[in-house]
Amino acid sequence: MGGKLGTIFARAGHEVVFSYARSEDKLKRLARQAKGKARAGTPREAAAKADAVLIAVHWSRMDDLLSQAGDLAGKVVLSCSLPMNADDTALVVAHTSSGAEELAKRIPGAHFVSAFNTVPSEVLFGVYAARDKANRPDLVYCGDDAIAKKLAARLIRDAGFEPVDAGPLRMVRYTEPFALLVAQLAYERKGGPEVAYRFQRYGKTNTRGKKKSGSGP
Ligand SMILES: NC(=O)c1ccc[n+]([C@@H]2O[C@H](COP(=O)([O-])OP(=O)(O)OC[C@H]3O[C@@H](n4cnc5c(N)ncnc54)[C@H](OP(=O)(O)O)[C@@H]3O)[C@@H](O)[C@H]2O)c1
C-alpha cells in the first residue's frame, strides 16, 4: 500500500519519502520509479518535515514502526493499517473499538485520519490512471480532526477516488470490517483483485448531494 500510494502521490506532484522496509534498496528503487520528487529515508526522516505521514504496515510491526518514527505530535497521520492477526485471517480489535482508534491513542497529539484501508492495493494504479474519467470510485475516510480530514480528502482525490467522509474516528469500527468484505470480494471471488466501490444514493438527491431534476416524490 505504501509503495503504491507513495508512487501515486509523487506522480500527483507531492514530495514523498519512502520509508520502512527490510531493504533500503527497495525504498530507493520505489523512489526512482516514482519519477517525481521522491526519495528514500528512515521513518524519522520521513516524518520530520512532512505535512502528512501515511502509516501502512502490518499490525504486528506497529511497535517497531512507531519507535523508529519518533514523536509524531502535531503531524497529520493517515493510516490504512488494519488490525489483523499474524496470518491475516481476523481483526484483533473490533466491535467496541477499532485498530485506528487504538493506534490514534498511541500517537498523542497527532491529527489522525483513517483512510485507504477499504481498497486492495491492486486497484490503486488503475483508479489513478482513470482519475479524469467520470464516476470515480468512492473512498471512505474517518477522523475527529477537521483540518487533517481536509488534507486526507485532498490526497484521496489526488489518488483518483471521491472522498466520502464517514464521520468521526469511532466509525472505523464499521469501515475496518467493511475492508475485510472488500478483500473477500477482491481475493476470493472471480474477476481479480482490482476492486473498488461506489455508493449510490437514490431519491431526491444524487450521490453528490445535488438536486436531481425531474426526480419522483
Ligand atoms: N495490501 C492491501 O491491499 C491492503 C489493503 C488495505 C489495507 N491494508 C493494510 O495496510 C497495511 C500495509 O499492508 P501492505 O500489504 O502494504 O503490507 P506490506 O506489503 O507487508 O508492506 C508493509 C511495509 O512494511 C515493511 N516491513 C515488513 N516487515 C518489516 C520488518 N521486519 N522490518 C522493516 N520493515 C518491514 C515492508 O517491507 P518489506 O519489503 O521488507 O516487506 C513494507 O515496506 C497493513 O496493515 C494492511 O492490513 C492492506
Cβ(115)–Cβ(139) below 8 Å: yes
Q: What is the DSSP string of 8-33?
A: HHHHTT--EEE---S-HHHHHHHHHH
Any ligand 1 atom below 6 A from CB of 59 = yes
The answer on pLDDT for 212 being more than 70 is: no
Q: Which atom of ligand 1 is nearest to the CA of 26?
A: 39
pTM, two decimal places: 0.94
Phi-psi region of 37 (alpha: psi -120 to 50; beta: other; left: phi over 0): beta
Lowest mean pLDDT among 72-81, 120-129, 133-142, 202-211: 202-211
Query: How does pLDDT run across 20-55, given as a tens digit for each residue?
Result: 999 999 999 999 999 899 999 999 999 999 999 999
Q: Which atom of ligand 1 is nearest to the CA of 82?
A: 47
pLDDT of the residue at 211: 54
AA letter at 156:
I
**Position 215 confidence tier, pLDDT thresholds 50, 70, 90:** very low
118 vs 206, residue with greater confidence: 118
Any ligand 1 atom below 6 A from CB of 2 = yes
Any ligand 1 atom below 6 A from CB of 186 = no
Any ligand 1 atom below 6 A from CB of 82 = yes
H or E stretch at 63: helix 62-69
- Sign for the CA dihedral angle at 41, 44, 49, 55 comes to positive
Average pLDDT score over the chain: 95
Any ligand 1 atom below 6 A from CB of 121 = yes
The bridge status of strand 38-40 relative to strand 52-55 is: unpaired
**Position 208 confidence tier, pLDDT thresholds 50, 70, 90:** low
The answer on pLDDT for 80 being more than 50 is: yes
Per-residue burial over 167-186, b = 16 or more CB atoms within 10 Å of its CB, e = otherwise: bebebbbebbeebbebbeeb
Cβ(140)–Cβ(179) below 8 Å: no
Q: Which atom of ligand 1 is nearest to the CA of 99?
A: 45
Any ligand 1 atom below 6 A from CB of 81 = yes
Rounded to whole angstroms, the Cα distance separating 148 from 200 reads 26
Query: How does pLDDT run across 152-187, given as a tens digit for each residue?
Result: 999 999 999 999 999 999 999 999 999 999 999 999
pLDDT of the residue at 217: 42
Any ligand 1 atom below 6 A from CB of 93 = no
Tell me which residue has its CA closest to atom 39 in ligand 1.
21
The answer on pLDDT for 204 being more than 90 is: no
pLDDT of the residue at 216: 45
Any ligand 1 atom below 6 A from CB of 18 = no
The answer on pLDDT for 85 being more than 60 is: yes
Rounded to whole angstroms, the Cα distance separating 147 from 152 reads 9
* Distance from residue 27's CA to the centre of ligand 1 (Å): 13
Tell me which residue has its CA closest to atom 30 in ligand 1.
22
Cell numbers describing residue 163: 472522498
